[in-house]
Amino acid sequence: MTVKIYIPKDAAALALGAEKVAKAVAAEIAARGLDAQIVRNGTRGMIWLEPLVEVETADGRVGYGPVKAADVPSLFDANFLSGGAHPKALGKVEELPFFAKQTRLTFARCGVIDPLSLDDYRAYGGLRGLEKAVATTPAQIVQTVTDSGLRGRGGAGFPTGIKWKTVHDAVADRKYIVCNADEGDSATFADRMIMEGDPFVLIEGMAIAGIATGATKGFVYIRSEYPHAIATMTRAVEIARRAGILGTTVLGSPNAFDIEIRSGAGAYVCGEETSLLNSLEGKRGVVRAKPPLPAIQGLFGKPTVINNVISLASVPVIMDRGSEFYRDFGMGRSRGTIPVQLAGNVRNGGLFEVAFGITLGELVNEIGGGTASGRPVKAVQVGGPLGAYFPVSLFDTPFDYEAFAGKDGLIGHAGITVFDDTADMLKQARFAMEFCAIESCGKCTPCRIGSTRGVETLDKVAAGIEPQKNLELVADLCNTMKFGSLCALGGFTPYPVMSALTHFPEDFAPRTVAEAAE
Amino acid sequence: MVSQAHSTEIATQTRAIVDSLKWLEGPLLPILHEIQEEFGYVPQESLPVIADALNLSNAEVHGVVTFYHDYRREPAGRHVLKLCQAEACQSMGSEKVADKIKRLLGIGFHETSLDGSVTLEPVYCLGLCACAPAAMLDGEVIGRVDDEAIDEIVAEVRR
């Protein structure tokens, strides 16, 4: 029997040498005349173990990692095709604590299957949600999504079902589904992982959204920094079209739905939904005022559902297993699961899908294993460049939209960047302002100009020039940006700045004294 | 004149690209991507051709080209090296990596080396945040950039 060897093709695995490993494995198979086949899967999300090579044995899938090309001959010598012992052996992959502790609903297939095999997709439960969707009414689909409690996973946390209902109820000759895959926040890679590891789940989710709202055309706007995701999604759409999942008769039903993949052009602000719509229309990615809501007047002025990748990719499992199944996970008004991304200076970095309610401390210390450097954790930034810095004293905060808001933070797209005690929080606050200045679309004055003034003022603080007065100025500036900007870029840049200032005041204290004493 | 012939050629090629893509809904970004793919940058000579074909003003096309970080107004070096400078990479020393590479290549961000071998750019997130610091060399991703990787990158761009 042909043995299957899984070697990830996810960008993170490639960045760690998976291509060389795959070549070395192929060479050994040929040289030894073995009956084995290489499958290029997505990643399981345990990035510190990448490249993670898995072998399908009678006993289940066993893993070896992190594998270097130089390890490959010794793996074959150790008879790893039968799960043989080797210093890189990890045992059964699904029994590894990091994996076993997860609740994989959205990412159920990611890292398991060949991303571009529809047979694999079906074999692991794919298309069941869409099959149910074509057999029911649009209103019923919208109700199911509403009842599931799914909220926008892009960061804003707006109830997905309500957005869909608005588009469903709107009357227009054309409607659109737009998938926001402009995942620009540092510490986040969930969208990339699912697009590279299980692209059909996103296609299925978008098709369901189309049927639910009466939209016949979908766009996936993927940032240009993700060439691998663009390539995989493009191939997947072609395959789905040939298989009748997309096209004039979705799964043989009277519903038409097709998808086009579009590449961004390196503007962070296009992750904001209205600038993304402008960008798709071929304009500068400048933010639009709301109202009108995109659900009423979105792409080309037509009713548009604009959802994040993970929101749409969570819909198939909701349709398949029912709203109660999904809603039963989570806490408070945060229902279902969230793919938490552990990033930066963390020992076990990767993606951990879990029901809402787990605490920040559990995620960073127990799941993430603390810092990669081995030094104490100083701060974590949750939610990307616009998210707050949390000190260790707030590690009891549960992962829940409202709980984070209550601590002047946000979950955002659920990325967590870990910093050890060498981090300089004044520098991080300055970077937040600098990044806002680089990426501002220029529409709102507080964002466009305030960010530059923020950098200058924090530089004065760092230089010890009237620190007290200048810090008051920073706080005042943050207040103006927060309430005087149309979108989250200007409006949320104060989160990292003010949280750094609030929780780590010692880093903003004059340092010239200490230096002079040396 | 050579330069005029060159301009005409750019205009002709631009026209062909525009004609092949203008049927798309919102075709401007796909057209600009394709032009950059063809020429390595977005030549000034392309702009009036695009504006004319899409019934836009020159100012509108100029506005779009200059809004997005991706579109170059002049050719890049033979290699393009992007170093992630976002928070997750910062937490793993991306600033030190950038300083060392700048020193070794003798250029700063947004600059091309005098011999035209490499253009160095910052990038704000490659989505490789769990294997930071990250870089991208000519579209190939590199994770956990350490001293050894820096030496390999520098050797590669000098080749």
- Could you list the pLDDT tens digit for every one of the 518 residues in chain A? 899 999 999 999 999 999 999 999 999 999 999 999 999 999 999 999 999 999 999 999 999 999 999 999 999 999 999 999 999 999 999 999 999 999 999 999 999 999 999 999 999 999 999 999 999 999 999 999 999 999 999 988 999 999 999 999 999 999 999 999 999 999 999 999 999 999 999 999 999 999 999 999 999 999 999 999 999 999 999 999 999 999 999 999 999 999 999 999 999 999 999 999 999 999 999 999 999 999 999 999 999 999 999 999 999 999 999 999 999 999 999 999 999 999 999 999 999 999 999 999 999 999 999 999 999 999 999 999 999 999 999 999 999 999 999 999 999 999 999 999 999 999 999 999 999 999 999 999 999 999 999 999 999 999 999 999 999 999 999 999 999 999 999 999 999 999 999 999 999 997 655 454 44
Q: Does A457 touch chain B (CB under 8 A)?
A: no
Residue A177 and residue A257: Cα distance in Å, rounded?
10
Q: Does B69 touch chain A (CB under 8 A)?
A: yes
Residues A156, A384 contacting (CB under 8 angstroms): no
Closest partner residue to A225 (CB to CB) among B54, B126, B131 is B126
Residues B134, B141 contacting (CB under 8 angstroms): yes
pLDDT of residue A512: 52
Residue B39 and residue B105: Cα distance in Å, rounded?
25
Within 8 A of B64 by CB-CB distance, chain A residues are 282-284
Residues A243, A118 contacting (CB under 8 angstroms): yes
Min Cα distance A16 → chain B (Å) is 6
Q: Does B37 touch chain A (CB under 8 A)?
A: no
pLDDT of residue A516: 45
Within 8 A of B98 by CB-CB distance, chain A residues are none
Residue B82 and residue B119: Cα distance in Å, rounded?
8
Q: State mean pLDDT over B2-22.
A: 92
Q: Which of B35, B65, B87 to mutate against chain A (most A CBs within 10 Å)? A: B87
Whether the per-residue pLDDT at B46 is higher than 70: the answer is yes
Within 8 A of B26 by CB-CB distance, chain A residues are 280-282, 300
Residue A155 and residue A338: Cα distance in Å, rounded?
11
Domain B79-158 = CATH 1.10.10.10: no
| Beta-carbon contacts of residue A406 (< 8 Å; ≥ 6 apart) | none
Residues A209, A215 contacting (CB under 8 angstroms): yes
Q: HSE, CB side, 13 Å, CA atoms: give it for residue A518.
A: 4
Q: How many contacts does A have with B, using Cβ atoms within 8 A?
A: 154
Q: State mean pLDDT over B62-80.
A: 97
Residue A327 and residue B46: Cα distance in Å, rounded?
53
Burial of B147 (0-12, 13-18, 19+ CB in 10 A): exposed
C-alpha distance from residue A453 to each of A428, A437, A460, A502 (Å): 16, 9, 11, 20
pLDDT of residue B5: 84
Whether the per-residue pLDDT at B3 is higher than 60: the answer is yes
Interstrand relation of A176-181 and A60-64 (parallel, antiparallel or unpaired): unpaired
Min Cα distance B2 → chain A (Å) is 32
Within 8 A of A417 by CB-CB distance, chain B residues are 87-88, 91, 129
Q: Does B152 touch chain A (CB under 8 A)?
A: no
- Look up the pTM and report it: 0.97
pLDDT of residue B2: 54
